[in-house]
Amino acid sequence: MYVRYTADLDDRVYSGSDISVFRRLEGARYYKKRLYIYPSDPPEKVWLWSAGYEQAEPDKDVRNRILPSRCIVHYCTKGRGYFNGQPVSAGMAFVAWSNTIHSITADPEGPFCFYWLLVRGEDVSSYIREFSFQADNPIFACDYIGEIVPLFEHLLNADYTRISLPLYSGAMMQAILSYQLSQSARSDREVSVIRNSGYADYIDSVKNILYDNNYSMSVDQIAHMLGVTPQHLIRIFQKILGESPKRYITRKRLGLGKQLLEKGVPPTETANILKYADYPSFYRAFRKEFGINPSKYAKSVVQE
């Protein structure tokens, strides 16, 4: 399995296996940067085949037939254009489905900018629909574009000599698509989809990280460690556990504090172990959670 980059700059095309091809793009009137992934054997029934970013000037006007077992999801970040004659603009997304003809035209005011994912596989249509993209509604408002742009940039600029390509590209594809799922109305079906998509294992990993750090990490720190946005982490937690990661951390952190006090660890030392800024901070949090201050709780346990 290997990667190839290509970059269209005006009417010139650069290609290679190195990210440096993208560095020739600065200042171009029109450019498209693309990442192609060539699996020696398809790693899954559905996989990411290519991704890219395009800045289309007013003369952009293409018509393509989407081949079988392929689907392209586009996310508009700037400007205005037309998808199959329907207006699309920044903050919107659109899907080009398998076995369909689609056209993309830039508005005369230009430029029209968007990211895209091209997903392939024998189950691609059902896979995309699992993430709540529907063929009868190929254009939709997409208020989370700002959150997935960093994921696209990671994907398009990763050093693929240092990471596992199948695992990384698959995870990034799923992370980007999952934003649409997280925006949909909650239902048992959607929760089932997330669990079947491996997010239950993802949450288990977060739980293990927190446990190893005495539940003293912030949501931002965990999100940074996992390479996702805090908003994405919050949505996944809310979907699977029914509570925010902040609430989960607070509950588990103070629960651990309770256990330490029950074992005879002094309240001030307990606050230190849990990495509270100072004892008053621990005192206030503990009392708010359990309705009793740490010292009184410790004494009540001893008396019992």
Give residue-wise pLDDT tens across range 124-159: 888 888 887 877 778 888 888 888 888 888 888 777
CATH number where 21 lies: 2.60.120.10
Token code pair at residue 261: 């006090």
d(CA 299, CA 261): 9
Higher pLDDT pick, 56 / 23: 56
11 falls within a domain: yes
Identify the pLDDT of residue 271.
Answer: 92
d(CA 12, CA 7): 8
Identify the pLDDT of residue 185.
Answer: 38
CATH number where 298 lies: 1.10.10.60
Identify the pLDDT of residue 140.
Answer: 84
> 20 and 151 share a domain?
yes
Domain that holds residue 272: 248-303
> 158 and 22 share a domain?
yes
Residues with Cβ within 8 Å of 117's Cβ and at least 6 positions away in sequence, in order, are 48, 50, 51, 72, 73, 173, 176, 177
Q: Which of 128, 163, 198 is the C-terminal boundary of a domain?
A: 163
Identify the pLDDT of residue 1.
Answer: 47
Contact 184, 141 (CB under 8 A): no
Q: What is the DSSP letter of 67?
A: P
Identify the pLDDT of residue 174.
Answer: 83
> 7 and 155 share a domain?
yes
Domain count, the chain: 2
Q: Is the predicted pLDDT of residue 11 greater than 90, yes or no? A: no
Q: What percent of the chain has pLDDT over 90?
A: 20
> 23 and 140 share a domain?
yes
Identify the pLDDT of residue 213.
Answer: 78
61 falls within a domain: yes
Identify the pLDDT of residue 143.
Answer: 80
212 falls within a domain: no
- Per-residue confidence at 186, pLDDT binned at 50, 70, 90? very low
221 falls within a domain: no
Q: Rounded mean pLDDT of 235-260?
A: 87
72 falls within a domain: yes
Q: What is the pLDDT of residues 239-251, one digit of tens each?
A: 777 888 899 999 9
218 falls within a domain: no
Q: Which of 163, 190, 206 is the C-terminal boundary of a domain?
A: 163
Identify the pLDDT of residue 144.
Answer: 83
Helix (H, G, I), strand (E, B) or coil at 3: strand
Q: Rounded mean pLDDT of 88-96?
A: 91
- Per-residue confidence at 190, pLDDT binned at 50, 70, 90? very low
Q: Which of 108, 143, 163 is the C-terminal boundary of a domain?
A: 163
d(CA 172, CA 186): 23
Token code pair at residue 61: 């006007």
Specify the pTM. 0.58
d(CA 154, CA 148): 10
179 falls within a domain: no
Contact 87, 79 (CB under 8 A): no
> 266 and 157 share a domain?
no
> 144 and 293 share a domain?
no
Helix (H, G, I), strand (E, B) or coil at 24: helix
Least confident of 44-53, 103-112, 225-234: 225-234
Strand stretches in the chain, DSSP E:
2-9, 12-16, 31-38, 46-56, 61-65, 70-78, 80-83, 86-89, 92-96, 101-106, 112-121, 139-141
> 252 and 151 share a domain?
no
> 39 and 158 share a domain?
yes
